[in-house]
Chains A and B, each alone.
Chain A
Amino acid sequence: MKDRSLFKALAVTLTVGWLAVFVIVPNLLTLATGFLTRGEPEFVLPVLTFDNYARLFDPAFFDIFLDSVWLALCTTVLCLLVGYPFAYILARLTPARRRLGLLFVIIPFWTNSLIRTYALIAILNVNGLFNAALLWLGIVSEPVELLYTNTAVFIGFTYTLLPFMILPLYASIEKLDHRLIEAARDLGAGSFQTFFRVGLPLTLPGIIAGSMLVFLPALSMFYVPDILGGAKSLLVGNFIRNQFLVARDWPFGAAASVLLTVVMGLLLYVYWLCHKRVRRAEPA
């Protein structure tokens, strides 16, 4: 059994070691840096303080944080409203069409988001297609200034992140046992009741997974507001980047990113709870 332990030791040491050094240590480092004092030119002075974490509740930062969370939430809701019916229809197509339909969701999923964000500029321009469509439909009488506004950032997030919502939704809807839906209908449930009491609870893990894949990047993708937003669109991602590269206040930037990690932890916890509930509801 000696060689088994050798191979095992190699595999375990390499993998655990790598993740400890490049995942656990950096995260602990960020947490710790948040308690230190800003310094020049060494970025960080080993002087203990709670100031950075306290400053997170200062309106100068907290308003930006709330704005970002609000925008990310709106994006998530819109992606969900558009994506759920889409994934549902897709999952009910014939296998050949389903495969093709899925391929055309996977392609934008894999296309660089930076490129997709850039592609929106030409659409959202004053004389771009979006305005032309609004004029043609008679919704507006003259072109609206969309580019470099918060609306453009909202459209940008929805556009880039929609495939990240559709794919997990599709995965959970496809797994849904259609007989359960039929059973609910046979037992006299209306379509409203069937959806909210059977379909929705069973696809909840997909909904939450998709929401996380949209919500978290929407907090951190600083290039979308950079490219589509105006000078005023400062989101938490841009703020953290600026703390590191412009203001050079690493401890405060670290504290702000710990806040993002906490948000992520809370969402993971909610996901875990829902997953547990659905597993229990499923027949073995």
Chain B
Amino acid sequence: MKRMVKAVYLGTVYLFLYLPLAVLTIYSFNDAKHVVTWKGFTTRWYVKLAENSVLLDAAVNSLLLAAASATAATIIGTLAAIALKRYRFTGRTILSTSMYVVMMSPDIVMGISLLMLFVLMGLPLGFTTLFLSHVTFCLPFVTVTVLARLTGLDGNLAEAAMDLGAREFEVFSRIILPLAMPGVLAGWLLSFTLSLDDVIISFFVTGPTFEILPLKIYSMVRLGVKPEVNALCAVMFGVTLAVVSLTQLCFKERK
């Protein structure tokens, strides 16, 4: 009996989490333009989507931005993790405090404060400002992931390498980096997804020259339900589903 209650409880919460997404996906195949009732199966919204060059351009822009900022965030974030783990230096407090600030700040606060910085610096809003912002909000997540990995490592390995005459860069490239690699890769994937998901910060620092998908979806969604948007959202959900399942599967194999 008790097991039944537990199973029903879990099932209800999962239903709550997945029902709207399932309905969205089903409606994206509905052959009706405005009504909510089922009018038969069609794939025409997906065809229409594939022909919409504005959306496709925005999708390509989003992927480019995500790849670029994830890569930069991974490099800087990994260096930060190594610095925090291995070195004593002035500015250490600045480093760890600002990491917390980034991770906990409400997105809107980050969005407007970066906007004011860029306006003050005279940077035109567009790819550059989006890139700088995305690197900044992804960076602490990379550092935390890599740091978690480094903490589990044997510190003697680096010591031994140094005793055997390895220079600091060699210790980094031949000992620490290979050992930290799973953390570094996880950090990159995390950043890539964070960058693709962001709406609020991008909303403030974007410019007309570089349109990205989440903001495009936002402006479409504000106008209400449309079958094309259903299809687009279903595709995005499908991509997340695939990427997350794959990542989980990879980490399972490793263990």
**Which positions in A face B, CB cutoff 8 Å?**
3-4, 6-8, 10-12, 14-16, 18-20, 22-27, 29-30, 33, 43, 82, 85-86, 89-90, 99, 101, 103-108, 110-123, 125, 127-129, 159, 162-163, 212, 216-217, 219-223, 226-227, 237, 240-241, 244, 250, 253-254, 257, 260-261, 264, 267-268
* CB atoms of B95 and A244 under 8 A apart: no
In whole Å, how far is A112's beta carbon from the nearest beta carbon of chain B? Answer: 5
| Chain A residue with Cβ nearest B225 | A121
* CB atoms of B101 and A30 under 8 A apart: no
In whole Å, how far is B134's beta carbon from the nearest beta carbon of chain A? Answer: 11
* CB atoms of B23 and A8 under 8 A apart: no
How far apart sit A156 and B197, CA to CA, in the bound complex (Å)?
17
Given contacts A20-B98, A129-B23, A159-B17, list 10 more A-B pairs with CB under 8 A. Answer: A26-B114, A113-B197, A115-B236, A118-B221, A118-B225, A219-B106, A220-B108, A241-B203, A254-B116, A268-B104
Would A86 and B100 be within 8 Å (CB), given that A26-B113, A106-B244, A260-B108 are in contact? Answer: no
**Which positions in B face A, CB cutoff 8 Å?**
6, 9-10, 13-14, 16-21, 23-24, 27, 36, 76, 79-80, 82-83, 87, 89, 91, 94-95, 98-102, 104-110, 112-117, 119-120, 132-133, 135-136, 139, 167-169, 172, 193, 196-197, 199-200, 203-204, 214, 217-218, 221-222, 224-225, 229, 233, 236-237, 240-241, 243-245, 248, 252
* CB atoms of A30 and B98 under 8 A apart: no
A227: chain B residues at CB < 8 Å are 221-222
| Chain B residue with Cβ nearest A221 | B200
Would A260 and B109 be within 8 Å (CB), given that A7-B168, A122-B27 are in contact? Answer: yes
What is the interface of chain A mostly: helix, strand, loop, or mixed? helix
A7: chain B residues at CB < 8 Å are 168-169, 172
B100: chain A residues at CB < 8 Å are 268
Ordered by A's residue number, 8 sampled pairs between the chains whose C-beta atoms are within 8 Å are: A24-B98, A29-B120, A89-B10, A114-B217, A119-B20, A119-B24, A128-B36, A254-B116
* CB atoms of B13 and A86 under 8 A apart: yes
* CB atoms of B240 and A118 under 8 A apart: no
What is the interface of chain B mostly: helix, strand, loop, or mixed? helix
* CB atoms of B13 and A15 under 8 A apart: no
How far apart sit A30 and B106, CA to CA, in the bound complex (Å)?
14
Out of A16, A99, A163, A260, which one reaches B94, CB within 8 Å?
A16
B224: chain A residues at CB < 8 Å are 121
A20: chain B residues at CB < 8 Å are 91, 94, 98
In whole Å, how far is B137's beta carbon from the nearest beta carbon of chain A? Answer: 9
In whole Å, how far is B3's beta carbon from the nearest beta carbon of chain A? Answer: 10
How far apart sit A128 and B20, CA to CA, in the bound complex (Å)?
10
How far apart sit A205 and B135, CA to CA, in the bound complex (Å)?
28
How far apart sit A25 and B79, CA to CA, in the bound complex (Å)?
21
A163: chain B residues at CB < 8 Å are 17
How far apart sit A36 and B167, CA to CA, in the bound complex (Å)?
51
* CB atoms of A260 and B36 under 8 A apart: no
In whole Å, how far is B165's beta carbon from the nearest beta carbon of chain A? Answer: 12
Would A112 and B197 be within 8 Å (CB), given that A123-B19, A159-B16 are in contact? Answer: yes
* CB atoms of A85 and B199 under 8 A apart: no
* CB atoms of A122 and B221 under 8 A apart: no
In whole Å, how far is A80's beta carbon from the nearest beta carbon of chain B? Answer: 13
* CB atoms of B136 and A18 under 8 A apart: yes
In whole Å, how far is A135's beta carbon from the nearest beta carbon of chain B? Answer: 15
* CB atoms of B214 and A112 under 8 A apart: yes
How far apart sit A159 and B21, CA to CA, in the bound complex (Å)?
11
A240: chain B residues at CB < 8 Å are 108, 112
B236: chain A residues at CB < 8 Å are 111-112, 115
